[in-house]
C-alpha cells in the first residue's frame, strides 16, 4: 500500500513582538496608567490592522504596578525575565520610572516613558545618559520655566507659595525649577511647604500659606492631592490662582475638587484636545469613538510613544532589544499628536507645552501654547 501522505505542516502562527507595559493601573494615580495604556492599545490596533511591524503583530503584555515604586521594579522584572518582552513601556510617574530603569539596564532592554518628566529618568547623577532609558515628553526644567513665566507674565503674580509632595521626585524637581525661574525674574516665594502622598487633610498648612497672601499657589503634584488641595484652599477662602504641572491632568480631578474650586486653576500640559491641528482632531475623534471619552495628555503621549516605538523597530529592521535601543537613540523628526520628537544625546525630545484652565462646569479650556 502507498505510504500515508505526510501530514500537512501546521500553518505557521504569525509571530508577535512582545512589548511590556508597566503601568499605574490601580492605586492613587490610576487614571494616568489607564489612559496611557488606552493610547498605546489604540495605536497597536491601528498598526496591526495595517500588517504590523516587520510582518509581525505588536502585542502588549500588561502589568499593574499599583502606583507604587516597589511594585514598579517587580513588574519590570517579571515582564523582562518571564514574558521576555523586547522593550518596556512606562511607568507614568518619574519616581516609578526611576524604580524600573535599573531593571531595564541590568537585562539590557530599552525602557521608554511617555510621561516621566524628571531629568534623572534618562541621565544619572554624574550627568551620564542612561543607556537604555528614553522618554517622549518634555522635561521638568522646561515645564517649570513655562509655569513660572505664566505666573509672572499672564497672571501678573509678584509673590508665590509652593506646596510640594515630599515623596515625589517629580514634585520636588518641578518645585525647584519653578522657584528658580520665578525668583530670577523678580518674583518672591513667600511660603514653601510640604506634604506626603498619603495626606488627605491640608487645611492646617493651607491656612499658614493663605496668611502669607501669595498672588499664586504653585502645586506640582498629582490629581488626588491636587483636587483636595484646591477644594480645601477654596473652602478656607483662598481665591487667588492655583497653578500646577502636568500631574493635574485627570478626569477624576473634577470629581474630587468640584467645578467651583477649579476656577482660577491653571496647569501646564503636553497637549490640548481642543487643538485644531488635523492630526489632533483625528486622534481625538478616533479615541472618542473607541473609548467614549476625551483623551487626556497621557492617552495622547501613549499613542505617540507606541507609534514611535513601531517606527524604531522598523528602522532597526529587527526586534532585538539592542537594535531597538540604537534606533530609538537615532530618532529624528518623528511627528506625533503631541508634537515632533527628535531625541537628543540625553534621550530627551524638545517639545512645546500648553497651559490649560477650567470653564464654569469644570471642563478643560485651552489657555496658551508655549513653544520651546
Ligand atoms: N510628569 C509626571 C511625572 O513625571 C507624570 C505625568 C505626566 C502626569 C503627564 C500627568 C500627565 O511624574
For residue 13, report the distance from its CA to the centre of ligand 1, in Å: 38
Query: Environment class of residue 36 by beta-carbon count within 10 Å: exposed (0-12), middle (13-18) or buried (19+)?
Result: buried
* Closest ligand 1 atom to Cα of 117: 4
Q: Which spans in the chain are helix H?
A: 30-49, 69-81, 94-107, 140-149, 169-184, 203-211, 223-235, 252-257, 278-291, 297-316, 321-329
Between the alpha carbon of residue 194 and those of residues 204, 218, 239, the distances in Å are 12, 12, 20
Give dist(CA 107, CA 100) in Å, integer: 11
pLDDT score, position 246 = 98
For residue 144, report the distance from its CA to the centre of ligand 1, in Å: 13
pLDDT score, position 4 = 72
Q: Is the Cβ atom of 93 under 6 angstroms away from ligand 1?
A: yes
* Closest ligand 1 atom to Cα of 95: 12
Rg of the chain (C-alpha set): 22
Q: Is the Cβ atom of 122 under 6 angstroms away from ligand 1?
A: no
CB 65 within 8 A of CB 30: no
Nearest CA to ligand 1 atom 10: 247
pLDDT score, position 7 = 72
Q: Are strands 242-244 and 216-219 parallel, antiparallel or unpaired?
A: parallel
Pocket probe mutation, ligand 1, options 135, 165, 247, max atoms within 8 Å of Cβ: 247
Give dist(CA 42, CA 45) in Å, integer: 5
Q: Is the Cβ atom of 247 under 6 angstroms away from ligand 1?
A: yes
pLDDT score, position 13 = 56
Pocket probe mutation, ligand 1, options 36, 39, 93, max atoms within 8 Å of Cβ: 93
CB 140 within 8 A of CB 119: yes
For residue 233, report the distance from its CA to the centre of ligand 1, in Å: 23
Exposure letters 287-319 (e unless 16+ CB within 10 A, then b): beeebeeebbbbbbbbbbbbbbbbbbbeebeeb
CB 254 within 8 A of CB 198: no
pTM (2 decimals)?
A: 0.96
Cα angle, residue 23 at apex, residues 21 and 28 outer, rounded to 5°: 170
For residue 115, report the distance from its CA to the centre of ligand 1, in Å: 5
For residue 211, report the distance from its CA to the centre of ligand 1, in Å: 30
Q: Is the Cβ atom of 331 under 6 angstroms away from ligand 1?
A: no
Q: Mean pLDDT for each consecutive 10-residue tract of the chain (372 residues)?
A: 70 81 98 98 98 98 98 98 98 98 98 98 97 98 98 98 96 98 98 96 98 98 98 98 98 98 98 97 98 98 98 98 98 98 98 98 97 92
What length is written for the chain? 372
Question: In 3D, which of 165, 171, 213, 174 has the Cα closest to residue 191?
Answer: 213
* Closest ligand 1 atom to Cα of 29: 8
Q: Is the Cβ atom of 297 under 6 angstroms away from ligand 1?
A: yes
For residue 249, report the distance from its CA to the centre of ligand 1, in Å: 8
CB 195 within 8 A of CB 187: no
For residue 159, report the distance from its CA to the centre of ligand 1, in Å: 26
pLDDT score, position 15 = 87
pLDDT score, position 193 = 98
pLDDT score, position 6 = 72
pLDDT score, position 11 = 62
Q: Which spans in 8-93 are helix H?
A: 30-49, 69-81
pLDDT score, position 14 = 54
CB 341 within 8 A of CB 307: no
For residue 143, report the distance from its CA to the centre of ligand 1, in Å: 11
- CB atoms closer than 10 angstroms to residue 154: 14
Helix (H, G, I), strand (E, B) or coil at 213: coil
pLDDT score, position 175 = 98
Nearest CA to ligand 1 atom 11: 246
Q: Are strands 216-219 and 188-195 parallel, antiparallel or unpaired?
A: unpaired
Pocket probe mutation, ligand 1, options 34, 72, 117, max atoms within 8 Å of Cβ: 117
Amino acid at each position: 500500500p502507498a505510504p500515508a501522505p505526510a501530514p500537512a505542516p501546521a500553518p505557521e502562527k504569525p509571530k508577535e513582538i512582545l512589548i511590556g507595559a508597566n503601568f499605574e493601573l490601580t492605586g492613587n494615580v490610576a487614571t494616568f496608567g489607564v489612559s496611557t495604556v488606552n493610547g498605546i492599545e489604540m495605536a497597536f490596533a491601528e498598526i496591526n490592522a495595517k500588517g504590523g511591524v516587520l510582518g509581525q503583530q505588536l502585542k502588549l503584555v500588561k502589568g499593574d504596578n499599583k502606583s507604587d515604586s516597589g511594585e514598579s521594579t517587580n513588574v519590570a522584572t517579571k515582564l523582562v525575565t518571564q514574558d521576555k518582552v523586547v522593550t518596556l513601556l512606562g511607568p507614568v510617574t518619574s519616581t516609578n520610572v526611576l524604580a524600573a530603569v535599573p531593571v531595564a539596564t541590568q537585562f539590557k532592554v530599552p525602557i521608554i516613558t511617555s510621561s516621566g518628566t524628571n531629568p534623572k529618568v534618562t541621565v544619572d547623577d554624574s550627568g551620564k545618559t542612561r543607556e537604555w532609558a528614553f522618554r517622549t515628553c518634555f522635561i521638568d526644567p522646561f515645564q517649570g520655566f513655562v509655569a513660572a513665566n505664566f505666573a509672572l507674565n499672564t497672571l501678573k503674580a509678584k509673590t508665590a507659595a509652593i506646596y510640594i509632595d515630599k515623596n515625589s521626585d517629580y514634585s520636588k524637581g518641578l518645585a525647584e525649577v519653578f522657584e528658580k525661574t520665578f525668583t530670577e525674574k523678580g518674583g518672591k516665594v513667600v511660603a514653601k511647604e510640604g506634604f506626603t502622598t498619603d495626606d488627605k487633610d491640608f487645611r492646617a498648612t493651607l491656612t499658614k500659606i493663605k496668611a502669607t497672601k501669595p498672588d499664586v499657589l504653585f502645586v506640582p503634584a498629582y490629581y488626588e492631592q491636587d483636587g483636595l488641595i484646591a477644594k480645601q484652599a477654596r473652602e478656607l477662602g483662598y481665591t487667588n490662582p492655583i497653578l500646577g504641572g502636568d500631574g493635574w491632568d485627570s478626569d477624576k480631578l473634577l470629581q474630587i475638587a468640584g467645578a467651583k474650586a477649579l476656577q482660577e486653576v491653571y496647569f501646564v500640559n503636553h497637549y490640548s484636545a481642543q487643538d485644531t491641528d488635523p492630526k489632533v482632531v483625528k486622534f481625538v475623534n478616533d479615541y472618542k469613538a473607541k473609548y467614549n471619552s476625551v483623551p487626556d495628555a497621557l492617552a495622547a503621549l501613549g499613542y505617540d510613544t507606541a507609534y514611535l516605538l513601531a517606527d524604531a523597530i522598523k528602522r532597526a529592521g529587527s526586534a532585538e532589544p539592542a537594535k531597538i535601543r540604537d534606533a530609538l537613540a537615532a530618532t529624528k523628526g518623528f511627528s506625533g499628536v503631541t508634537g515632533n520628537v527628535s531625541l537628543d544625546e540625553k534621550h530627551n525630545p524638545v517639545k512645546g507645552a500648553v497651559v490649560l484652565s477650567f470653564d464654569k462646569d469644570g471642563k478643560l479650556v485651552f489657555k496658551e501654547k508655549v513653544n520651546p
